[in-house]
Structure 1
């Protein structure tokens, strides 16, 4: 049994997708048509992943919604 702590999917978004691309929350928000305040709350772990956001992130980054759903569980 492992004691690994899962990162919030918002942290994964920031570290694995935004930072390497030099992309801002605002730019992503415009690209996926989501309020930047919603994405900022998600990035900082103050709100959870919704099916709609999973689909939008999956479509934009080419990962599929399932990737984001798995990160959230």
Structure 2
């Protein structure tokens, strides 16, 4: 049996989407019309993924909401 450690989707947002693009939380928040404080809490793992946030991230990054649901599973 292996002990898999799941990665919070906020970490994935940061490492796979924000950092490579040089995109700040603030700029993403403005682009997807979400408070930057909400995105900051999500990125740091202090808040979970919501359906609304999954849809907005999926639309913005072209991944679809399902991608974000899979990361949260």
With normalisation by structure 1, the TM-score equals 0.97
Moved over 3 A (4+): none
Q: CA deviation at 1:6?
A: 1.1
Counting matched residue pairs gives: 73
**Aligned-CA RMSD value:** 0.7
CA distance in 2, matches of 1:5, 1:63: 23
Matches within 5 A, 1:10-25: 10-25=10-25
Unaligned segments of structure 2, at least 5 residues = none
Unaligned segments of structure 1, at least 5 residues = none
Q: CA deviation at 1:2?
A: 2.9
CA distance in 2, matches of 1:57, 1:2: 31
Q: CA deviation at 1:3?
A: 1.7
